[in-house]
Amino acid sequence: MPDLPDGERAPEDGRLPDISMDRPLSAYVHVPFCEVRCGYCDFNTYTSDELGPGATPQEYDGELLKEIALAGDVLDGGRPLETVFFGGGTPTYLDASQLTHILGVLEMVFGFEPGAEITTEANPETVDRDYVQELRDAGFTRVSVGMQSAVPHVLATLDRLHTPERVPRVIEWARDVGLSCSLDLIYGTPGESLDDWQTSLAEAIAMDPDHISAYGLGIEPGTKMGQQVRRGVLPDTDPDDLAAKYEIADEMLSAAGYTWYEVSNWSKPGHAARHNLAYWRGNNWWGFGPGAHSHINGTRFWNVKHPRAWAQRLNSGVSPAAAREVLSEQERAEEQIMLGIRLAEGLPLTAGILRQDASIDPVDLAQRRHKTMLLAADGLLRSDQLARSRMVLTLRGRLLADTVIRQLWD
Ligand code: SF4
């Protein structure tokens, strides 16, 4: 699991420098439990063997309510939530009644905007028809199913517990009760051939979800898979293989009527994930749960990582925030470029080059123009969009998004 970043100490009462609510507000709810730990997993999640009393799944909704109450107090009631996202870990490792309980308290404290998007991630083996019905009855609008692959040997390498046949059943149940459906895929698993990847994409498309995410596998050194790679038991990921699979994904998904709206996300018209967009557009969100990160008006803060430490702080009446970082205007602008350039809507040419008095700096603008023309000449930015003073990645630019960001910033 990655360590938390450094930062200044967060006040024990959780107070923030600026709680003006002039941007939309979202909530992320982290559920840090899984049945088993997948070999590649680097997330802040725990199996039941790893956690003793004071941090059990059964107690978790009760603990979360304390952080929701604290957030309501710190934000002075905040504003109605535009989006809510339950992620993990495995949110559906909890009973549906617990997710219902948490969602009900979020609604009581903040309220929801009309048409709010309310999503939970779900592992296929953890839900059935009754479970998704309960989610729908509670007010969930969307489910994001962790399919990862349709090929048994790939799922086995990833240590996933479900069979490929389970996923279409979950999608059918979810659609029957009126939930919008997304599928999460992973490409680049050791041993996955190009044919395997095409099979997974074809199976995903055949289920006709509203939204598909596809992420290239990154093997972190501290994971079981990282150790297997170090010992030579498994091969490391190959950048050329990842690039080829990304191109296949874009081609097959585009042909099936999905449009990319962020480097790793494609959707049918009108089904881009609004919660994801809230992150990438720099809106405000409160992340609830151990290790969850939040952003409110340029202040980023993050909770202590271990579920027991998180619960103990809440039970002592202390904010679970471990540390925080108050971003300067310049840092916020830089962050906006890093996030916004990944979106299909791109960024205005002037993004992040304001002077202190908020006027556009002509020297920086001239430099930006020069850099973007070079990037367009390299085929990384779209020339037609540059002519409209916007920076939008080409397909090649999407593959090399980090390079584009570095070059814009150097
Ligand atoms: S199900 Fe997801 S969060 Fe849980 S161990 Fe596997 S990859 Fe990690």
Per-residue model confidence as pLDDT tens digits over 254-268 = 999 999 999 999 999
For ligand 1, residues with CB inside 6 Å are: 34, 37-38, 41, 43, 45, 88-90, 123
Question: What distance in Å separates the CA atoms of residue 203 and residue 187, rounded to the nearest whole number?
Answer: 14
CA of 153: how far to CAs of 156, 191, 358, in Å? 5, 8, 55
Percentage of residues in the chain with pLDDT exceeding 90?
81
Q: Coil, strand or helix: which one is 181?
A: strand
Q: Is the pLDDT of residue 348 over 80?
A: yes
Helical (H) or strand (E) element with 169: helix 166-176
The number of the ligand 1 atom at minimal distance from the alpha carbon of 89 is 3
Query: What's the gap in Å between 46 CA and the centre of ligand 1?
Result: 9
Residue listed under structure tokens 């199913």: 145
Between 393 and 78, whose confidence is greater?
393
Query: What's the gap in Å between 355 CA and the centre of ligand 1?
Result: 44
Of 157, 161, 220, residue with least CA distance to 187: 157
Band (337; pLDDT cuts 50, 70, 90): confident
In this structure, which residue's CA is closest to atom 7 in ligand 1? 41
Q: Is the pLDDT of residue 2 over 60?
A: no
Residue 1 is predicted with a pLDDT of 58
In this structure, which residue's CA is closest to atom 5 in ligand 1? 37
pLDDT tens profile 380-401: 999 999 999 999 999 999 999 9
Q: Is the pLDDT of residue 145 over 60?
A: yes
The average pLDDT across 207-218 equals: 97
In this structure, which residue's CA is closest to atom 2 in ligand 1? 89
Question: What distance in Å separates the CA atoms of residue 190 and residue 171, rounded to the nearest whole number?
Answer: 27
In this structure, which residue's CA is closest to atom 6 in ligand 1? 38
Query: What's the gap in Å between 41 CA and the centre of ligand 1?
Result: 6
Q: Is the pLDDT of residue 56 over 80?
A: yes
**Bridge-partner residues for 181, per DSSP?**
143
Query: Residue 181 CB: number of other CB atoms within 10 A?
Result: 23
**Bridge-partner residues for 285, per DSSP?**
26, 295
Band (363; pLDDT cuts 50, 70, 90): confident
Residue 3 is predicted with a pLDDT of 63
Query: What's the gap in Å between 267 CA and the centre of ligand 1?
Result: 23
CATH code for the part of the protein at 8-280 = 3.80.30.20
CA of 194: how far to CAs of 148, 163, 241, 248, 409, in Å? 15, 20, 8, 9, 35
Enter the tokens of residue 288. Answer: 């609830």
Residues sharing a CB contact under 8 Å with residue 317, sequence separation 6 or more, in sequence order = none
Ligand 1 pocket test, candidate residues 35, 40, 41, 225, most atoms within 8 A of CB: 41
Query: What's the gap in Å between 380 CA and the centre of ligand 1?
Result: 33
Residue 318 is predicted with a pLDDT of 95
pLDDT tens profile 86-138: 999 999 999 999 999 999 999 999 999 999 999 999 999 999 999 999 999 99
Rg (the chain; Cα; Å): 22
Band (4; pLDDT cuts 50, 70, 90): low
Domain boundaries of the chain, sorted by first residue: 8-280, 330-410
Query: What's the gap in Å between 45 CA and the centre of ligand 1?
Result: 7
Q: Mean pLDDT, the chain, as a whole number?
A: 93
pLDDT tens profile 282-311: 899 999 999 999 999 999 999 999 999 999
